[in-house]
Structure 1
């Protein structure tokens, strides 16, 4: 598989989820090598040595991962990796020796020299926190057999950020909450989630906006908590969020049926006929379209929600078309692609 084929591959998490609300589940493990300073303190030579050490293990000893040095990629390729959630915006925007190892279906990605020396990530569609964790720990065990991770009895895994010390585990779910947004309950529900010790962020994590009515919910603290406690707490809260969203959708169906039908049919009509669509507008319309199909008000289209959302992002759109586009050209091509993908 060429690099282009690897990056164009549909990521596993973009397949149809097993839940109408939970789009994806992610588990990320932060790990650092014993004999090197953390990335924010390391020299450029030390960072290059970390990358060489880790990439050699990832390239030759851990199947089926393929290592890519980010210094070899152009800006659009960086953007594709960020848009597909395979690397963080901070890694994509940094400089120096750094990279990512990917599985062919992108369910595994291992970032090198981000905030920590390694960020081991597994990302799956729907509500699959336990399976995501199982796969992440299996990969972690295989890497730890070949690399000396910084670990202390009584503290656990040492990480650059104190909130990650201990298990180094950050678990998250991406949820689609149009019902709560339309009924103006979303702030109340998500405010309660933060009071339960969880973080709520936008589509691309800290500092990003909740485009397409999608939110990331994750644990904030790992020190003093077991992996099982973190996962069970997030799973319990996720079930409550799902229940609130489904109740909000039923409220719309019973008390505001014409408003609901107008929003979803208007979205479908615009998607199937628009000649220009901005990234923000398309995500908003696709969100309402997904709400309509989930509630049985609209016929299903061939591509699932997450695939359409990501494929029409600026980087992925340009990479698929194999040419750079100015904003107006992107809006035109995005509309054309969506018209093709939403045709029945």
Structure 2
């Protein structure tokens, strides 16, 4: 894998569709927060100390490359352009915080982007493993293997009383954050989403938008994750989140069934109006595109629209983002007008051939 492939390929393997409950659960993620024992946390470390973490992390490449048939790429963020860093954010490879302060920051990426290690983000090491559908156990197993390799090389900050020491107190203990990305258009349409979010919060979970903390749930896409790690085992965190997500999935399916039973004609009209906008629009904003794409994906899942595969939705989630569009256009800056026209053109090309199955 080259850096260009990482930047240019619209779909990582974990966003290509499939997996358990894959029509509603887009992906599962396990993230482990780890820190070097003798180095201040990134928000307190100086440039020399941050550099030592980057150099130490680079030395794990040989061991990572020997663990399976995949290859790992080491990337220093300050060598990327701001546009390239923002494309990585849009592809969920790095966080917005990691992209904003590139000096002495880096990442290690597996050739299929299933494994990403962010270096000197909020913590010295953020191990991130992604899987399609609802598959937290497989993601956790892979993250544990990567964690073991890093611990062979690095002495990590850990105490018997507190577990792994982290920059944010909510990550103390296992340092594990489990999350799933879910598409919940029916719960939004039936106005049940506030109740679902409230119930999840009461169970100690966080519900955020497409790009995590501090972002809105555009396109009816939500991230559900555990809030705390201290006092819970990794197995308890994963089991609790999986149980809640399955209940949310059941609620979404029930809402979809209700819409098809009680309001099929109105739903079909809404879905086809969204499809018509996307299929023929000559200019469209990013917000409107995600909203319309969400409704079209619902129509695909409910067999209202056929001959347009559901994975097109996943692909367009990335391609229609502003920085990805700018990279496709070969320009560091693209004015809103030309960008909206390019977005509409790409969507039209992707949606050719859709027709009704009714």
| Same fold? TM cut 0.5 | yes
How big is the alpha-carbon RMSD for the aligned residues of Structure 1 and Structure 2? Answer: 1.2
Query: For the Cα contact (< 8 Å) 1:108–1:123, is it kept in 2?
Result: yes
* Whole-Å separation in 2 of the counterparts to 1:49 and 1:65: 20
Aligned residue runs from structure 1 range 24-103, under 5 A: 24-58=27-61, 60-63=62-65, 64-103=71-110
Length-normalised TM-score, structure 2: 0.93
Of 328-337 and 312-321, deviating more is: 312-321
Alignment correspondent of 1:292: 299
Aligned residue runs from structure 1 range 161-180, under 5 A: 161-180=168-187
Deviation at 1:25, TM superposition (A): 0.4
Residues 1:229 and 2:236 are matched in the alignment: yes
Q: Which runs of 4+ in 1 moved over 4 A?
A: none
The one of 222, 228, 241 aligned to 1:215: 222
* Whole-Å separation in 2 of the counterparts to 1:125 and 1:282: 23
Aligned residue runs from structure 1 range 183-332, under 5 A: 183-302=190-309, 303-324=311-332, 325-332=334-341
Deviation at 1:154, TM superposition (A): 2.3
* Whole-Å separation in 1 of the counterparts to 2:286 and 2:244: 30
The one of 344, 350, 354 aligned to 1:341: 350
Of 70-79 and 3-12, deviating more is: 3-12
* Whole-Å separation in 1 of the counterparts to 2:116 and 2:274: 34
* Whole-Å separation in 2 of the counterparts to 1:6 and 1:189: 35
Secondary structure class of the residue paired with 1:208? coil
Aligned residue runs from structure 1 range 107-118, under 5 A: 107-118=114-125
Deviation at 1:95, TM superposition (A): 4.2
Deviation at 1:321, TM superposition (A): 3.1
Secondary structure class of the residue paired with 1:145? helix
- Structure 2, unmatched stretches of 5+, are 66-70, 354-358
Secondary structure class of the residue paired with 1:189? helix
Deviations 1:81-128 (A, max 9, x none): 100111111111124210111111111100000110000001121111
Query: For the Cα contact (< 8 Å) 1:31–1:149, is it kept in 2?
Result: yes
* Whole-Å separation in 2 of the counterparts to 1:326 and 1:141: 46
Residues 1:140 and 2:147 are matched in the alignment: yes
Deviation at 1:8, TM superposition (A): 1.5
Length-normalised TM-score, structure 1: 0.97
Query: For the Cα contact (< 8 Å) 1:27–1:133, is it kept in 2?
Result: yes
* Whole-Å separation in 1 of the counterparts to 2:59 and 2:177: 26
